[in-house]
Structure 1
Amino acid sequence: MKTPEENYGYFEEKAEELGANSIRLIAAEDIIVENRTILKCIFGCNGYGSLVCPPFIPTVDEFSKMLAEYEWALLVDWKSENVFSREVGENFIKYSVTPSEDDDTQQEFVDTLKSVIRERKETIQPGTIELEKLAWTLGYNTALGTFPGMCTWCANSDCSDVACAGSDGSCHQPTIRRPCIMGLGIRMDKTLEKLGMPMQKFPMDDTIPSQYTLILLD
């Protein structure tokens, strides 16, 4: 089997076709994992309980052991047109629970939320799965993709909400769900910093947030 470096051109061509800005082949050992990362999942994320998030995925300790068995990963930066204003970016979770008193601000939040869900459902998640499939065809039998947040396969028709089965039932899309990056304990900010490509700083002001996924290869 060829090494990932030798197959890089195939991955790069496919990623561009699927809607990625760029990809980068990195050593799996450069992925930073910390147990404390999932505190941000448990406390403060309304995606907690999605079947790609804790407690339905491997624990951080379990994943750390699994990650040590991989040699490579593809870091994929996905295209996005979703501009976050400072107001919406700072209050994204808040407005999903308690709507803004300003109607215009709340509508801006709703529009931004729909765009996030739509991009993940239509581009990022299917693109990740297709790159994973390509890896399989190239001989990386344990290749596994990750999602940038909660799964959106079961978004409603206008992408305003996601009807995840959660703890109430079986997953509606079991063959194409993949674990959330943060839920596995991955510190994307520290990983990017280690790679010399610092993550965007929050709060953002009329900025398009980067959308990254990782595809483990071996």
Structure 2
Amino acid sequence: MTLDETQNKKFDDLKKSALELGAIDAKIIPAGDILVEDRVTLKCRVGCVGYGKKLTCPPYVPTPDEFRKILSEYSYAMLVKFRSPAETDDDVVKSIYKYWLDPAAPKDKKDEASKFWNDYFDYSKIIHLSMLELEKRAFNEGFTFAIAFVNGSCRLCEKCNIENGICVHPNMARIPEHAVGINMKKTAEKAGMALKFPIKGNPEPMSVLLID
């Protein structure tokens, strides 16, 4: 899939916008290079404490099969990588996975894990706002079906309006990429922007902007 001169310029402007908005890297890829897998949302169902508690997460969002059909209508996507200020070393890595939600965890380990996740989630709100602005700029440049997906579940509200089934911030809430089955690890690796696991140093979360 090739770009004409006008598209190249618009994409260059969008990539510059991403960097202005705090990204450390941004890359245009064919939409077909986004890898969608059913097993990704299984992790939401069995591994996430937020499952069913947010309108932007499963089971309230398109399934992987539904999303594959949506994705097929797009030509391009932008992968947008950020660098979180949350810091890790070998001990912190063990703490964030082992002790964060364990009520019997030693206080120092729980505090260590809590600090990491608080820093990470605070920055995820900044990423969310940056992706919304990037989506708006893409729209204003003629990509009227541009839509952003965010890294991690929505944190616009302390508690989602799940009981009433209506989002109170529909203009701002966006779906996490993994919630529709996007395998970000494989997608990023294929694009030459590999994500590092387990986390070392500062995490580098990545978001997606679909463009058309």
The normalised TM-score by structure 1 is 0.87
Aligned pairs, number: 208
> Aligned Cα RMSD in Å?
2.1
Matched residue of 1:99: which SS? coil
Structure 2 equivalent of residue 72 of structure 1 = 76
1:26 aligns with 2:20: no
How far does residue 130 in structure 1 lie from its aligned partner after superposition?
A: 0.3
- Structure 2, unaligned runs of 5 or more: none
How far does residue 185 in structure 1 lie from its aligned partner after superposition?
A: 0.4
Separation in 2, partners of 1:89, 1:146: 26
- Structure 1, unaligned runs of 5 or more: 155-161
Instruction: Give the 3 Å change call, closer, same or farther, for CA 106–151 of structure 1 in structure 2.
Output: same
Instruction: Give the 3 Å change call, closer, same or farther, for CA 91–67 of structure 1 in structure 2.
Output: farther
User: Which of 38, 47, 50 pairs up with 1:47?
Assistant: 50
How far does residue 84 in structure 1 lie from its aligned partner after superposition?
A: 2.8
Residue identity over aligned pairs, in percent, reads 35
User: Which of 3, 19, 32 pairs up with 1:16?
Assistant: 19
Structure 2 equivalent of residue 152 of structure 1 = 155
Q: Is the 8 A contact 1:74 1:217 kept in 2?
A: yes
Q: Which moved more, 1:105-114 or 1:130-139?
A: 105-114
Q: Which stretches of structure 1, 4 residues or longer, exceed 6 Å deviation after superposition?
A: none
The equivalences for 1:138-217 within 5 A come to 138-154=141-157, 162-167=158-163, 169-202=165-198, 204-205=199-200, 207-217=201-211
1:131-179 CA distance string (max 9 Å, x none): 000011011111110011110112xxxxxxx422334653231211111
Q: Is the 8 A contact 1:45 1:93 kept in 2?
A: no
Separation in 2, partners of 1:64, 1:187: 12
